Chains A and B, each alone.
Chain A
Amino acid sequence: MTGQGTTELTVQENAEELRRTVTRLFGRSLHIRTLDTGSCASCEQEIRLLAAPHYDLHRLGFFFTPAPRHADLLMVTGPMVRAFENAARKTYDAIPDPKIVVATGACALGGVYQPDPFTHGGVGETLPVDVWIPGCPPSPLALLQGLLVAVGRLADKVKDLDFTLNGTPQ
Chain B
Amino acid sequence: MTAIQPSVASRPGLSDLLTGFGQDAAGDGPVITLGVPVADLEAAVRRIAAYPGARLADVFASAGSPAGDGNSARDGSPAGDGSPVTLRLVWGLDADHRYLITESLVEGDSYPSLSAIAPAAFAEECEIYEQFGIRPAGGRPLNRVALPPGAGPDWPRLGRAPAEPPRDVHAPHHVGGHAFEFPFGPVRQVAVESLYYGLVTSGEELVDLYLFTWHKHRGVEWRMRGMAPGEALFYVERTEGLGAVGNSWAFAAAVEAALGLEPPQQAMAARAIALELERLYNHAAATAALCQSTGLVIGQAAAEIALERLLRVNAAVFGHRYLFGVVDIGGTRADLDAAALRSDLPGAYAELERAADALLTTNSFLDRLEATGILTEEAARRLGLVGPVARATGLAADTRADHPARPYGEFPLAVAVADTGDVLARFRVMLTEAAESVRLIGEIGRTAAGPGLALPPGAGPGQPASSGLGWAESSRGEALAWVALDGSGRITRARLRPAAVRNWRGFDDACRSQNVFTDIPIIEASFWLTVAGTAR
Contacts and interface: CB of A to CB of B under 8 A. Distances in A.
A–B in direct contact per CB < 8 Å? yes
B264 interface: no
Contacts of B219: 116-119
Given A52-B301, A53-B305, A117-B76, A40 B239 contact: yes
Interface string B328-352: 0000000000000000000000000
Given A82-B148, A116-B219, A49 B308 contact: yes
Contacts of B156: 116-118
B interface, over-half SS: loop
Contacts of A48: 191, 288
B215 interface: yes
B304 interface: yes
A28 to B, nearest CB: 20
Contacts of A55: 308
Interface residues of A, number: 44
A65 B187 CA distance: 12
A66 B190 contact: yes
A45 B241 CA distance: 10
Nearest to A56: B301
B194 interface: yes
Contacts of B324: 136
B299 to A, nearest CB: 12
A87 interface: yes
Q: Which of B190, B241, B311, B535 has the most CB of A within 10 A?
A: B190
A52 B192 CA distance: 15
A110 to B, nearest CB: 14
Contacts of B223: 116, 118
B466 interface: no
A84 B216 CA distance: 7
Nearest to B312: A54
Interface residues of B, number: 46
Nearest to A33: B190
A126 to B, nearest CB: 14
B192 A83 contact: no
A100 B259 CA distance: 50
B216 A45 contact: no
Contacts of B287: none
Interface string A32-69: 11111111111111111100111100000000111000
B301 A65 contact: no
Contact of B187 (A83, A91, A136): A91
B460 to A, nearest CB: 29
Interface string B53-91: 000000000000000000000001000000000000000
Interface string A150-166: 00000000000000000
B221 to A, nearest CB: 11
Contact of B242 (A32, A37, A41, A113): A41
A140 to B, nearest CB: 8
Contacts of B238: 40, 107, 112, 136
Nearest to B315: A139
A49 B307 contact: yes
Nearest to B500: A41
A34 B186 CA distance: 12
Interface string A82-118: 1110010011000000000000000100001100111
A53 B351 CA distance: 13
B532 interface: yes
B308 A119 contact: no
B285 interface: yes
25 contacts: A34-B191, A36-B216, A39-B241, A40-B238, A40-B532, A41-B240, A42-B241, A42-B242, A42-B322, A44-B192, A54-B305, A55-B308, A64-B191, A66-B189, A84-B216, A87-B186, A112-B234, A113-B218, A117-B155, A118-B217, A118-B219, A119-B219, A136-B324, A137-B322, A139-B321
Given A45-B285, A52-B307, 9 more contacts: A36-B192, A38-B216, A39-B241, A40-B241, A49-B304, A82-B148, A117-B156, A118-B222, A139-B321
Interface of B: 76, 148, 150, 155-156, 186-194, 214-219, 222-223, 234-235, 238-242, 244, 285, 288, 301, 304-305, 307-308, 311, 321-322, 324, 530-533, 535
Interface of A: 32-49, 52-55, 64-66, 78-79, 81-84, 87, 90-91, 107, 112-113, 116-119, 136-137, 139
Closest CB pairs A-B (n = 10): A42-B241, A83-B148, A40-B241, A52-B304, A118-B219, A64-B190, A36-B194, A47-B191, A41-B530, A54-B308
